Amino acid sequence: MLHTARWLLIALCLSSSVAFATQAAEDDIQAKTPDGDEVVLHSNGYWEFKDAKKAAVAKVKVEEFERSNGCPLGMRPSFLGMGRCISYDDPILKRGSLSGKSR
């Protein structure tokens, strides 16, 4: 019985993930910019050019921006804008004081 329930749960998860993936593709919006470029607006907030050449140029510009910005999105420099990049959800940053006074 437990073995059958496990397979049923796996099948349910797979079918729901397929349905979610097809829904995301249907939510895309085709649009034109004021310059006449055709773009695809995704439901997650991102967009991309339909033309492969323009998409490649835009990808290079985004990579240059991220390199010049220092840290990728979702991260920050460790100390006064210097040092390694630290994620905002890093567990070490959320551990609080280690002095023991607040325990």
Contacts of 66 (CB under 8 A, 6+ apart): 72, 73
Q: What is the pLDDT of residues 53-95, one digit of tens each?
A: 988 998 888 877 766 667 777 777 777 767 788 887 887 777 6
The per-residue DSSP string of 1-33 comes to -HHHHHHHHHHHHHHHHHHHHHHHHHT-EEEE-
What does the block give as tokens for 44? Answer: 């997650």
pLDDT at 37 over 70: yes
Question: Mean of the pLDDT values across residues 20-47?
Answer: 80
What pLDDT is recorded for position 30?
92
pLDDT at 25 over 80: no
pLDDT at 103 over 60: no
